[in-house]
Amino acid sequence: MPRSSSPLVEVLRTKNTGYLLFTSLLGRLPGAMAALAIVQLVRSTSGDFGFAGLITAVYVVAGAVGQPLLGRLIDRFGQVAILAVSGILSFLAFTGMALTLAPLPGLAVALAAAAGVFTPPLEPALRALWPRLVAPGPQLKAAFSLDAGAQEIIFIVGPLLTVVGIAVFGPVGNLLFAGALGLVGALAFILNPAPRAASAQRRSGAAGHPGIRSPILIPAVARVAVFTFGIGVPVGALTIVATASEAVRASEGLAGWILAVNALGALVGATVVGVRPLGSTPARLLTVCGVLLAVGYLPLAATALPTWAFVIAAGVSGLMLPPTLGQVFERISQLSPAAALTEANGWVVSAMTLGVGAGTLVAGAVVGAAGTSTVTWVVLGASALTVVVSFVVAPGRSAIASAAARRPGQR
């Protein structure tokens, strides 16, 4: 018999998957470009770093609010209309923010909020499509891991595109460039037959249930969202840890290398679980993956490591992120009603965003107040929080017994 290919290869061979993944990543690029783009634009005008932090925070928090709200609209009206309208509105808000930041900073803050709220929810939209596109089991696990790993590319490419955009278009034009990439990605995504078929099904009423309650009100979904927030905290703290390590070692550019190698480690982790998906169920694996992710960050607490070893430790710390997120996405697809799956994915995207933001904020405040010597405690604290929230999603004995009693093929 011919040797079967890996689940990851089967996913990539499946019709529409490569196109949807690429266009989704293209449309998500503003999320990886906007923070640096906004800061650079403020520096070129007022130079007020406090204001730069404020407007960036407004954009990020507004995006976290908007994803589940737009996801709920997608579950009600379909992907095509909501992604198209939100893409256009977000681009217009980016444009207005870029043009009004210097003369009307107050208006620019409001437009930053609008750009965040109307960010096209391509991430939850794609994850709602995966169960339609690939077979359940190993292929679906591989698809979610591929999605999580591919997202790391955004955070490598995004800052580089920002540097290029500023050099070519200037600070104002670069912000327009970021917004345009989001719009192009969203429009290209909905040109594919899969989103259009899903939208047609919503319009026909075959899957739409306007009165369905929000999935975040389902306790199991809420616990997964809390878990996702928790795994985001050490990811966010890493930005401050990397910056502090660069300052202590007086090695210019080291922070960029640390973050890049961390993303590379995540790509390796995604590839490994894509080729050989984890064998157990997400309900059982979430806690294990969360604890392993936290443990993977612990070597970064050893600040006296040689620089080369510290960089390698940064790569190790990234290994478990895609496998963990893959379990999150699969678990959400099991827990949420199909008619609310996009909104459910929107909630976990927002939870991750807020976790990353909280990690960066708290780590920055601690290091800023007490100095770079506190990096060890920042790492230990972030990892400890991740371990604690990992047990929020641990299955109880009754849940394990119930799962064991189910027949094969049942959820």
Nearest CA-CA partner of 360 in 244, 228, 222 = 244
**Is 1 domain-assigned?**
no
Are residue 158 and residue 220 in the same domain, yes or no? no
**How far, in Å, CA of 306 to CA of 289, rounded?**
28
Task: Write the secondary structure of 123-139 as one string of H (helix), E (strand) and C (coil).
Answer: HHHHHHHHHHHCCCCHH
Its pTM stands at: 0.77
First to last CA, the chain: 32
Structure confidence at residue 57 (pLDDT): 80
**Is 222 inside any structural domain?**
yes
- Of 209, 231, 252, the domain-final residue: 209
pLDDT tens digits, one per residue of 373-388: 888 999 999 999 999 9
Determine the structural domain holding residue 65 and report its residue range. 16-209
Mean pLDDT in residue range 6-20: 87
Q: Does 7 fall in a domain?
A: no
Tokens for 390, please give them.
């990992």
340 and 387 housed in the same domain = yes
Domain end among 183, 209, 235 = 209
Please tell me whether residues 185 and 225 are part of one structural domain. no
CATH number at residue 172: 1.20.1250.20
Give the per-residue pLDDT at 142. Answer: 83
In a domain, 170, yes or no: yes
Question: Angle 138-190/79-100 helices, nearest 10 degrees?
Answer: 60
> How many C-beta neighbours within 10 Å does residue 50 have?
9
406 is a domain residue: yes
Which of 209, 230, 262 lies at the terminal end of a domain, its last residue?
209
Residues 145 and 182 in one domain: yes
| In the predicted structure, residue 312 carries a pLDDT above the cut 90 | yes
In a domain, 11, yes or no: no
Most confident segment among 83-87, 137-141, 265-269: 83-87
Task: Output DSSP code: residue 394.
Answer: P
Q: Does residue 293 share a domain with residue 180?
A: no
Percentage of the chain modeled with pLDDT above 70: 91
Residue with tokens 């969360």: 290
Q: What is the pLDDT of residues 173-215, one digit of tens each?
A: 999 999 999 999 999 999 999 888 877 766 555 444 555 678 8
Residue 172 and residue 273 in one domain: no
Share of the chain residues as helix, strand and coil, in percent rounded to the nearest 5: 85, 0, 15
What is the predicted pLDDT for the residue at 269?
87
Written as six digits, the tokens of 411 are: 């959820």
Listed residue (215, 176, 27, 38) closest to 113, CA to CA: 38
Residue 102 inside a domain? The answer is yes
Between these two residues, 402 and 124, which has the higher pLDDT value? Answer: 124
For the chain, what is the domain count?
A: 2
Taking the C-alpha atoms of residue 145 and residue 62, their distance in angstroms, rounded to an integer, is 27
Whether residue 48 is found in the same domain as residue 188: yes
Cβ pair 311, 232 in contact under 8 A: no
Co-location of 185 and 222 in the same domain? no
Residues 125, 52: one domain?
yes
- Say if residue 62 is in the same domain as residue 202: yes
Query: Which pLDDT band holds residue 399 (cuts at 50, 70, 90)?
Result: very low
Q: Any residues with CB less than 8 A from the CB of 131 and at least 6 apart, and which?
A: 140, 333, 341
Residue 8 belongs to some domain of the structure: no
| Residue 203 and residue 241 in one domain | no
| Tokens, residue 287 | 């806690």
Angle at 353 between CA 376 and CA 358, to 5 degrees: 40
**Model confidence pLDDT, tens digit, residues 241-252:** 887 888 788 777
Q: pLDDT at position 308, please?
A: 92
The answer to whether residues 344 and 386 belong to one domain is yes
Question: Cα–Cα distance between 198 and 194 in angstroms, integer?
Answer: 6
Phi, psi torsion values for 305, nearest 5 degrees: -60, 150
Sequence-separated (6 or more) residues with CB below 8 Å from residue 198: 78, 79, 128, 129, 132
